[in-house]
Amino acid sequence: MKVKMILPALLEAESPAWRPVKYSLFPPLGLASLASHFDVDDEVTLVDQHVEKLTLDDQPDLVVIQVYITNAYRAYAIADHYRERGITVVLGGLHVTSLPQEAALHADTIFIGPGDSTFPEFLKDLKRGKPKHEYRSVARSLDNLPPVRRDLIKRGLYLVPNSIVVTRGCPFHCSFCYKDAFFKGGRSFYTQRVDAALSEIERLPGKHLYFLDDHLLGNRKFSTQLFDGMKGMGRLFQGAATVDSVLRGDLIEKAADAGLRSLFVGFESVNSANHSATGKIQNINREYSAVVERLDDLGIMINGSFVFGLDHDKPDVFDRTVDWAVSQGITTATFHIATPYPGTEYHSELDHQGRIVSQDWDKYDTRHVVFKPKLMDSETLVNGYHRAYRDFYSWRNISVASRQHNSIKHCVKHFAYSTGWRKFEPLWDIVIRAKQLRFMTSVLEGVLSKVSKDNKGESRSQYDQPPITSETNEVGLDSQPIVMQRLHKRDLTRSLGSP
Ligand code: B12
Ligand code: SF4
């Protein structure tokens, strides 16, 4: 059987503001995982439209398309095109799971939820000539899965060809997150077997790995064994985890020992009221600085993720967030405009209140305002979002933030990583067009090399600002960054909130 697997690009690919580097980071791991279920004599190709040209004049027997909300319209157009040619088209992924009826109009078969058990079931049915119209994932396990078909990945087209996932889902339930909708009807957090994860890591060439797991520290037992197993492998890796997990126990030290050098942390908001409202119930006043300090002490760079426009955000939220992130020495920041993905609790709430103003899925990219914000107008939200990016990545703020670390090497790495990521777009474009990203992977490995607490030797508190002006638990405009900065290691235990 001739099979074509496609990750359609989002429409933004045609915009002048397109940042090719962002979409040349990771290969389509979901499709490469599903491809492992084909027979050896099936002829499979995998096309990632973000990094290569998609031709549509071929005649495969089966087309498999992954649909995110932001590429949905293009995915549907491609699906319609192949179906008109009489080819079987199957659709799956996050958006199909959120809106199955919409997707079903463009597919012979749709898949709801993760495809690890339903896709092989479909392939069996297809062979028997009796594929169903819909497969719904109920059994959830990563045991005994065949190895990801990495041979289908064109490694040279990606900065981070070694992306990997060793768990699925997350143990938490934030109301705005895709997760609960996607994993409905079965387990929503599960892991690979540790030996299988370690074997997969061993098979990856080079040093650098990027764990795309939602929460790499989410299962303590699994992660402890994973990091113990990775110790001595000489890997450098990046991953994502929650505020809470960085503070709890010594897992983060184990991760650092195993090679963790940069962590994506979902701070989400500097307004603690937003956390209660969205199910992120940690106490922001106490935890955030402690997280930063602990990671800093371990030489782990931080990519902080922040959402703007939640119901407790006033127009001052942009400056407050940037000021805090800079004062704390956050290495890179990812800002988002709050986006109510269909299927989430957040979407239901806003919909119920009549506040959804656009159903154009192309705009659900966290850069557009698709709902009516509560305490500011849409223009303020979108302008504030752009301003936050501009201000955070201004030369001045990069330089101030870079100086907030305990070691000179960390300061230099911060500066190099942050400027390299945001300030040299034209250079990235040249490298991408010349298909030379593999050389940049070694540069990345250099930047992610180990930092030990050395030369500078000063405590973060030497950079601290004036004393606290308010003791309120609610994050006050003037008090918030300062309250955060006064935390020290001894406060860590006290600062632990429930997840
Ligand atoms: C890596 C990543 C990216 C990478 C690259 C993605 C890629 N090349 O695939 C980059 C950085 C480019 C990226 C960009 C964006 N991303 Co992104 N990203 C992720 C992340 C962290 C991991 C995805 C992944 O690889 N998972 C691991 C693999 C194994 O799982 P999978 O891809 O989901 O595939 C499984 C199932 O979905 C299913 N499946 C998928 N397709 C199909 C098809 C068939 C036929 C079948 C049977 C099954 C099936 O089976 C697979 C195996 O179980 C997810 C978070 C997450 N955990 O999903 C967010 C996530 C997918 N991104 C998201 C968003 C919003 C974006 C952006 C809009 C962000 C932005 N502001 O720029 C852009 C636009 C992306 C686009 N192309 O449209 C949202 C999507 C929300 C939604 N409802 O669609 C997520 C869920 C993050 C979040 N928490 O909100 N992203
Ligand atoms: S902690 Fe992150 S991945 Fe987990 S539910 Fe919340 S937003 Fe989603």
- 429-446: per-residue pLDDT in tens? 778 777 778 778 777 887
Q: What backbone torsions phi and psi does residue 210 show, to the nearest 5 degrees? A: -125, 110
pTM score over 0.85 = yes
What distance lies between CA 82 and its chain's CA centroid? 31
d(CA 271, CA 288) in angstroms, rounded, equals 12
Is pLDDT at 426 greater than 90 in this prediction? no
Which residues, 6+ apart, have CB-to-CB distance to 367 below 8 Å?
Answer: 337, 385
Quickly count: other Cβ atoms within 10 Å of residue 151's Cβ.
11
Which residues, 6+ apart, have CB-to-CB distance to 259 below 8 Å?
Answer: 209, 230, 233, 234, 235, 236, 237
Which residues, 6+ apart, have CB-to-CB distance to 394 below 8 Å?
Answer: none
**Distance, CA 180 to ligand 2 centroid (Å)?**
9
Counting ligands in written order, the one closest to the CA of 145 is 1
Looking at ligand 2, which atom is closest to the CA of residue 169? Answer: 3
Max CA distance (Å), the chain? 72
pLDDT mean across residues, the chain: 87
Residue to probe by mutation, ligand 2, list 215, 275, 339, most atoms within 8 Å of CB: 215
Looking at ligand 1, which atom is closest to the CA of residue 181? Answer: 83
Domain extents in the chain: 2-136, 159-338+373-495
Residues 27-33 have a mean pLDDT of 97
Instruction: Tell me the per-residue pLDDT of 185-205, one tens digit each, with 9 for 90 and over.
Output: 999 999 999 999 999 999 999
- Tell me which H or E stretch contains 33: helix 29-35
282 or 413: which carries more pLDDT confidence?
A: 413
Residue 4's pLDDT is: 98
Is pLDDT at 495 greater than 50 in this prediction? no
Counting ligands in written order, the one closest to the CA of 71 is 1
d(CA 406, CA 227) in angstroms, rounded, equals 25
Residues 287-292 have a mean pLDDT of 88
Three-state DSSP at 173 gives coil
**Distance, CA 31 to ligand 1 centroid (Å)?**
11
Pocket of ligand 1 (CB under 6 A): 7, 10, 22-23, 25-26, 28-30, 33-34, 64, 66, 68-71, 90-95, 98, 111, 114-116, 119, 165, 177-178, 212, 214, 341, 365-366
How long a stretch of residues is the chain? 499
Is pLDDT at 470 greater than 70 in this prediction? no
Residues 484-497 have a mean pLDDT of 27
Q: Among the residues of 329-473, which ranges form H helices?
A: 345-352, 378-392, 395-402, 408-422, 425-433, 437-447
* Residue pair 361/73 in contact by the 8 Å Cβ criterion: yes
Q: Are strands 167-169 and 189-191 parallel, antiparallel or unpaired?
A: antiparallel
- Tell me which H or E stretch contains 5: strand 2-7
d(CA 428, CA 401) in angstroms, rounded, equals 23
Residue 413's pLDDT is: 87
Instruction: Tell me the per-residue pLDDT of 12-24, one tens digit each, with 9 for 90 and over.
Output: 676 666 667 778 8
Q: What backbone torsions phi and psi does residue 383 show, to the nearest 5 degrees? A: -65, -40
Instruction: Tell me the per-residue pLDDT of 63-72, one tens digit each, with 9 for 90 and over.
Output: 999 999 999 9
* Residue pair 308/338 in contact by the 8 Å Cβ criterion: yes
* Model confidence band, residue 150 (pLDDT cutoffs 50, 70, 90): very high
d(CA 332, CA 415) in angstroms, rounded, equals 10
Is pLDDT at 487 greater than 90 in this prediction? no
446 or 453: which carries more pLDDT confidence?
A: 446
d(CA 356, CA 364) in angstroms, rounded, equals 11
* Residue pair 207/261 in contact by the 8 Å Cβ criterion: no
Strands (E), 187-323: 189-191, 208-211, 236-241, 260-268, 301-308
* Residue pair 156/435 in contact by the 8 Å Cβ criterion: yes
Is pLDDT at 123 greater than 60 in this prediction? yes
168-177, 357-366, 436-445: which range is least confident on average?
A: 436-445
Residues 255-278 have a mean pLDDT of 90
Is pLDDT at 486 greater than 50 in this prediction? no
Residue 406's pLDDT is: 80
Residue nearest atom 6 of ligand 2, based on CA coordinates: 174
Cβ burial, residue 354 (10 Å; 0-12/13-18/19+): exposed
Three-state DSSP at 149 gives coil
Instruction: Find tokens 């061993």 and name the residue.
Output: 202
d(CA 110, CA 133) in angstroms, rounded, equals 6
**Distance, CA 177 to ligand 2 centroid (Å)?**
6
d(CA 36, CA 147) in angstroms, rounded, equals 6
* Model confidence band, residue 461 (pLDDT cutoffs 50, 70, 90): very low
Q: What backbone torsions phi and psi does residue 9 show, to the nearest 5 degrees? A: -80, 155
d(CA 140, CA 184) in angstroms, rounded, equals 11
Is pLDDT at 454 greater than 70 in this prediction? no
Instruction: Tell me the per-residue pLDDT of 86-96, one tens digit each, with 9 for 90 and over.
Output: 999 999 999 99
Residue 226's pLDDT is: 98
Does 2-136 match 159-338+373-495 in CATH topology?
A: no
Looking at ligand 1, which atom is closest to the CA of residue 169? Answer: 57
Is pLDDT at 493 greater than 50 in this prediction? no
Is pLDDT at 489 greater than 70 in this prediction? no
Strands (E), 197-251: 208-211, 236-241
* Residue pair 92/111 in contact by the 8 Å Cβ criterion: yes
Instruction: Find tokens 């957040």 and name the residue.
Output: 346
Q: What backbone torsions phi and psi does residue 335 show, to the nearest 5 degrees? A: -100, 145
Residue 17's pLDDT is: 64
Is pLDDT at 234 greater than 70 in this prediction? yes
Residues 45-62 have a mean pLDDT of 95
What distance lies between CA 418 and its chain's CA centroid? 18
Of the candidate CATH numbers 3.40.50.10140, 3.40.50.720, 3.80.30.20, 3.40.50.2020, the domain formed by 159-338+373-495 belongs to 3.80.30.20
Half-sphere exposure of 1 (CA within 13 A, CB side): 18
Residues 153-162 have a mean pLDDT of 93
| Residue type, position 257, single letter | D
d(CA 63, CA 45) in angstroms, rounded, equals 10
Is pLDDT at 463 greater than 90 in this prediction? no
| Residue type, position 147, single letter | P
d(CA 149, CA 36) in angstroms, rounded, equals 5
Instruction: Find tokens 């993905």 and name the residue.
Output: 341
440 or 155: which carries more pLDDT confidence?
A: 155
Instruction: Find tokens 């004062």 and name the residue.
Output: 327
| Residue type, position 90, single letter | V
Residue 213 CB–ligand 2 contact under 6 Å: no
d(CA 120, CA 53) in angstroms, rounded, equals 28
Question: At the top level of CATH, which class does the domain 2-136 belong to?
Answer: alpha beta
Residues 450-461 have a mean pLDDT of 52
Residue 439's pLDDT is: 75
Is pLDDT at 416 greater than 90 in this prediction? no
